[in-house]
Amino acid sequence: MTTPTRRGSATLGRILAMAGKEVLHIRRDIRTLYLALAMPVLMLVLFGFGISFDVDHLELAVVDQDRTDLSRALVRQVTASGEFVAIEDGTSPEAALQQLRRGHAAGVLLLPHGFAEDVQRGTAQVQLLVDGADGNTATQALAKAQALVEVASRQLLGAGAPVQAPPLEVRVRTLFNPDARSAMFLVPGLAAYLLAIVAVIITALTVAREWERGSMEQLFATPVGRLEIVVGKLLPYLGIGVLQVLLVLTVGAWVFDVPVRGSLVALGLGALLFLVGMLGQGLLISVVTRNQMVATQVATISSVLPSMLLSGFIFPIENLPLPLKVISTVIPARYFVSTLRGVLLRGNGLDVLWPQLLALALFAVFVLVLATRRFQRRLD
Amino acid sequence: MSAEAAVDVELKDVRRAFGATQALRGVSLAVHAGEVYGLVGPDGAGKTTSIRLMAGLLLPDAGQVRTLSEDPAAPRSHVRESLGLVPQRNTLYGDLSVEENLRFFARLFALSKEDFAERRARLLDITRLGRFTDRRADALSGGMYKKLALACALLHRPRVLLLDEPTNGVDPVSRRELWELLYGLVHEGMTLIVSTPYMDEAARCHRVGLLYAGELIAQGAPRELTRAHGVAASDFEAVFLALVEKHTGGRAA
């Protein structure tokens, strides 16, 4: 009679056999390793540099109709930081608007006739026109330009103009990312996005390959259980996933100066749970499709779109329409992006991030149970 | 093989369809321990479906399948520990070597190191694959590939071995070698169920079941069937064609 100990040891042996076989496949198919390790790093660097919401060196068409020392000083103040660059310095509003229409300028700063005199009277106004066709740039340009003009006017008016202090003053200080660098919040989101894609696609491909080549038939004729197949097949890819996380975080820190301020335990746990969930999703897709081409397509669509659009990676969850906001609650990338930003930027630990980790764990368990149940040891 | 030998594999009025296609239409057969049973028939007759049902890889729509007195498709069935399968397709891992394939399947059957070493040596010897242990499976010839598949299926010394068209795509010399190998296994007490579309291979079996369009149209010892039809023992094809004609009323002739 087979004892439980012997059964347990046989189970472990079969899981290791499956995992070992998978490692051999990976070693002999360098494309898998490339897809798993080189692609995320390459994409992280490309995306990290390519995607930026930072408003810097924006072209500003300046229309200085006043042509006084004060008006020129204001323009110098506004462009001194380098966030705005004056490309047009004329007196014709039409010419400046033409630059805006052609997309050569992101904004127009108009200083009207009599500006210096109005400043002395305390009734000066400047006009700022921004290109609303690019909403994000327009919003940021508007905020920055307003702040710069305000600061500049305070300094310029120090000479004696009657400046009234507002009854309430807000002093804004941006924490965790004081320079508001896009890379700081994009890299964690990008890491989740890339890991999701690679983990889901690789798993979907490798399991579907077993169906397509018929080796599942051979496996099912042996005593190997479906859970042993699932765990054995996923283990090597979990290892690769952990390597991916380390690589992506290293590149994030090295190339983009993204820090790790919080709990490494929360980070590790979050990454592990997220990867298990993504591998489970890939497995479920391959079990249902049993075809490499279809599996790749389904895996790509089901991982790329949600992890980009519904994870908070680019678009804040709060700004999503209600139906999408509801759907985003079942997207694991949402919780992993939140975990990464929490650990890397805000310095959070388990005490703060446990709800995100719980959500990741629930998704991982749900998808693995579903995949294992659908993964019948039969060919029909 | 004695007349009282236990029934190792049994199909009772088994039906199985794939969509609108009826693969098996009420097939009943019993294979005894130590017997070489041939499932003979043309492509699409239901041979692979029968083998897969016996291995528990498919569920019947109706009827009953028993392999070593168990339902082979039951989740907790132990039949697989005593069952060997050589599928029709090349289902081994092509990018793994002969040695790696053998080692992998030995681990799935939880063989000890000592048992594996002993059986590996014997199987490599009888299949003459000893010189090719480092060769990738997909670089083997058709005959050698089948021998490797057979070796992988025999590592755990199964009581019942199911072979789905094992000689398909194999040259005549390798075919003869494979059959010699199979006879050697029968002498060790193994039960063999072999499907084949080649009528000349029917004569090599103790008993055959002739499958046609999902129905078992005849069953018996090859010599009895040829004698009953008054043809030479080697002319099994004539028997098959006569039976098909009788079964279909001449429509398939």
Q: Tens of pLDDT along B105-126?
A: 999 999 999 999 999 999 998 8
Instruction: Tell which residue, A213, A204, A209, has the closest CA to residue A234.
Output: A204
- Lowest-pLDDT range of B26-30, B98-102, B143-147: B143-147
Task: Please state, in angstroms and rounded to a whole number, the distance separating the CA atoms of residues B107 and A164.
Answer: 84
Q: What pLDDT, on the 0 to 100 scale, is given for residue B253?
A: 47
Give the bridge partners for A85, in sequence order: A59
Counting Cα atoms < 13 Å in the Cβ hemisphere of A112 gives 10
Question: Does B89 contact A at CB distance below 8 Å?
Answer: yes
pLDDT at position B115: 93
Q: Which has the closest alpha carbon to B169: B195, B190, B143?
A: B143
ipTM attached to this prediction: 0.88
In the block, residue with structure tokens 């007759």: B45
As a CATH number, domain A58-159 is: 3.40.1710.10
380 residues of chain A, pLDDT tens digit each: 456 666 678 899 999 999 999 999 988 888 878 877 888 888 878 877 776 666 677 888 888 888 888 888 888 888 887 778 887 677 788 888 888 888 788 888 888 888 888 887 777 788 888 877 766 677 777 777 777 777 777 776 665 455 455 556 556 666 666 666 667 777 888 888 888 888 898 888 888 888 888 899 999 999 998 889 989 988 998 898 888 888 888 888 888 888 888 899 999 999 999 999 999 999 999 989 988 899 999 998 988 888 888 888 878 888 888 999 999 999 999 999 999 989 988 888 999 999 999 999 999 999 999 998 888 877 87
Percent of chain B's residues with pLDDT above 70: 97
Q: Do B92 and A218 touch (CB under 8 A)?
A: yes
Is residue B208 predicted with pLDDT exceeding 90? yes
Q: pLDDT value at position A138?
A: 75
Look at residue B103 and tell me if it is in a domain. Answer: no
In terms of residue numbers, what domain contains B170? 7-93+158-248
The residues of chain A that CATH labels 3.40.1710.10 are: 58-159
Q: What is the average per-residue pLDDT within B59-83? A: 92
User: Which residues from A are below 8 Å from B93, CB to CB?
Assistant: 21, 25, 215
The DSSP output letter for B211 is E
Torsions phi, psi for B164 (to 5 deg): -100, 105
- B110 located within any domain: no
> Does some domain include residue B243?
yes
Does A16 contact B at CB distance below 8 Å?
yes
* Total number of domains constituting chain B: 1
CB count, 10 Å around CB of A76? 11
CB B73 within 8 A of CB B83: no
% of chain A beyond a pLDDT of 90: 24
In a domain, B104, yes or no: no
CA distance A97 to A5: 81
Q: Would you say residue B33 lies in a domain?
A: yes
Reported as a single tens digit per residue, the pLDDT across A37-59 is 888 888 878 877 776 666 677 88
Task: Please check whether residue B140 lies inside any domain of the structure.
Answer: no
**B125-181 per-position pLDDT tens digit:** 888 899 999 999 999 998 899 999 999 999 999 999 999 998 887 788 888 888 888
How many CA atoms are closer than 13 Å to the CA of B206, on its beta-carbon side? 18
Please check whether residue B111 lies inside any domain of the structure: no
Residues B234, B203: Cα–Cα separation, whole Å? 7
The residue of chain A with its CA nearest to that of B56 is A378
Task: For residue B75, give the CATH number of its domain.
Answer: 3.40.50.300
Q: Is residue A17 within 8 angstroms of chain B, CB to CB? A: yes
Q: For residue B59, give the nearest of A213, A214, A378 by CB distance.
A: A378
List phi, psi (to 5°) of A316. Answer: -60, 135
- Please give the pLDDT value at position A149: 76
Residue type at B234 in one-letter notation: S
* Among A219, A378, B131, A14, residue whose Cα is nearest residue B147: B131
Which of B14, B52, B108, B115 is the best substitution to test chain A (most A C-beta atoms within 10 A)? B108
Do A64 and A71 form a contact (C-beta atoms < 8 A)?
A: yes
Let me know if residue B116 belongs to a domain.
Answer: no
Mean pLDDT of B231-242: 80
Q: Is B117 in the A-facing interface, judged by CB distances under 8 Å?
A: no
